[in-house]
Structure 1
Amino acid sequence: MERFGIQTLPAQFQLPYHVHRDGYVTVVLEGSYLESGDGGRCHVVPGAVLVHSEFDAHRNETAARPVRLLNLPLPSPVPGHAHYEIADPDLIARLSQADLRAASEQLFCLARPVLREIDDLPGVLAQHIRENPCFSLTRWARHYGISPSYAARQFRRAFGVTAAVYRKRARFHHARQMLERTEVPLADVAATAGYTDQPYFNRCFKAETGLSPMEWRRFRKLQYARISPP
């Protein structure tokens, strides 16, 4: 897809689970679709605003009508919620014709946060995985009186990836946030995020970002230093 601007998705279209290296914001202009990804599972309609952070992964399924979207750069600072809504999405589309970044800034002056997550079995399972990097599908399924294999099948059908892959991504996001927001030693970051040991953590993290955890922490510090006021 084009990085920013207006995009059209065909009716009855499925976009497989995919990763975006850079963050962006989506405003739904027309149509509706189902998005299932690292931030949960939600049904979005015109006026919905979705914040996709760096390295966000998701799949999309459109309904009977085509969908028109507006993709904008993330404003600074990054919004604190994943889902918002705006009463007049066409206003933001018009503003974007002149200045994409200004349109993004104005969007979050007008939008309000909302809860959109679907709370069916795959949605609830995804939430538990995100909240607990050491999550065990078998223990979770038995606690709720569900067959682990049934839960796994339902999850894969909804998200397009296995619960194990989703848990791996949840660990990565958890570790990345710790690296960026704390000075916790790398070994403790690895343990807290659910990695078996630091070398394994290093390999997994570099596979996602191209940088080791220490390199990523330094890179982020330099970035924040450039944008922070003196």
Structure 2
Amino acid sequence: MKAGLLGTESQRNHACGRAAVRRVGGFCYRTTPAPATTDDAMHPPIDRLRQRLDANARLAWHSHAAPYAALVLDGNYEESGDGGRRRVGPGHLVVHPPFSAHTDIIGRRGATVVNLPLTVTQALTLQSGLLSNPEAVLDRYTADPFSLSQVLGSSVTPVDQPDDMPDRLAAALALPGRVVIAEWGADQGISARSVTRHFSAAIGLPPAQYRWRARTHGALRAVVTTAQPLIEIAHDWGFSDQAHMTRSIRRLTGRSPSAWRAIVSD
């Protein structure tokens, strides 16, 4: 959620018009890298992290350089973007890795969320899901914000999410390997044109663009959370070579894979 860098339809054909911002795939992103913070991230008080979302609002595609987790206290909304589609309500925790992007459709009663800051490593290892006692998590954050990752890691229960054709394709694109969209559609008995049309309507991006983002995010996750050789990560995630992966990660984040490893190892 949060206020982010908007990538609206009107921006697709115009310059972003802001310092340190550039367009990538039709959306505006900061060229300045995310803050190089891991275990010493800032932890503002809860009141500053609480956000009220207006009923029936639609938030355009926007990207967040800094990682965080949105904890829903009341109301509901549907979020579509990196990670596919999610329908969330009270108690849901939605983890947003660094440089993730999404759009939101708020329900008719609006929603209240608390945007909890995460370190890069936390956001790339924690899972979204349902918390049985959200208030206890907020109390723990207030008392000891550095224990947040441990609490969330042991308190989140996975939940079922939409399982239509766009959701199945988004899930396939989030796995290692290289998915050929036309072949995937043929296996499902759906034409490539229909796949593109329905996926774009549901997720907010055409599948080819989503595939690039999913592949790059997947490679970044492996770079940050494993010691796997970079050339192997590039192969696993369908890049032509290590240099190709490096260009993609730098394009998304402003930093190279080696730079990210240096940050998280500090």
TM-score (norm 2): 0.72
CA offset at residue 104 of structure 1?
Answer: 3.8
8 A contact 1:73–1:104 mirrored in 2: no
Aligned to 1:219: 263
CA offset at residue 103 of structure 1?
Answer: 8.5
Distance in 2 separating the partners of 1:118 and 1:171: 21
CA offset at residue 77 of structure 1?
Answer: 7.3
Query: Residues 34-53 of structure 1, C-alpha deviation per residue, up to 9 Å, x if partnerless?
Result: 11222221211111112222
Over aligned residue pairs, what C-alpha RMSD do you find? 2.8
Does structure 1 residue 10 correspond to structure 2 residue 54?
yes
8 A contact 1:38–1:56 mirrored in 2: yes
For residues 189 and 33 of structure 1, do their structure 2 counterparts lie closer, same or farther at Cα, with a shift above 3 Å needed?
same
Q: Choose 47-56 or 87-96, whichever is displaced more.
A: 87-96
Query: Residues 23-42 of structure 1, C-alpha deviation per residue, up to 9 Å, x if partnerless?
Result: 11111111111112222212
Does structure 1 residue 141 correspond to structure 2 residue 203?
no
Does structure 1 residue 69 correspond to structure 2 residue 125?
no
Does structure 1 residue 182 correspond to structure 2 residue 182?
no
Aligned to 1:101: 145
Distance in 2 separating the partners of 1:170 and 1:209: 13
CA offset at residue 212 of structure 1?
Answer: 1.9
Distance in 1 separating the partners of 2:88 and 2:246: 36
For residues 77 and 187 of structure 1, do their structure 2 counterparts lie closer, same or farther at Cα, with a shift above 3 Å needed?
closer
For residues 103 and 47 of structure 1, do their structure 2 counterparts lie closer, same or farther at Cα, with a shift above 3 Å needed?
farther
**Structure 1 portions without partners, runs of 5+:** 223-230
Aligned to 1:58: 102
Distance in 2 separating the partners of 1:133 and 1:20: 26
Distance in 1 separating the partners of 2:256 and 2:63: 19
Aligned to 2:132: 87
8 A contact 2:57–2:106 mirrored in 1: yes
Q: Choose 100-109 or 158-167, whichever is displaced more.
A: 100-109
**Aligned-partner SS, 1:49:** strand
Q: Choose 42-51 or 15-24, whichever is displaced more.
A: 15-24
Query: Residues 158-181 of structure 1, C-alpha deviation per residue, up to 9 Å, x if partnerless?
Result: 111111111111111222133231
Aligned to 2:9: none
Aligned to 1:209: 253
**Structure 2 portions without partners, runs of 5+:** 4-43
8 A contact 1:39–1:82 mirrored in 2: no
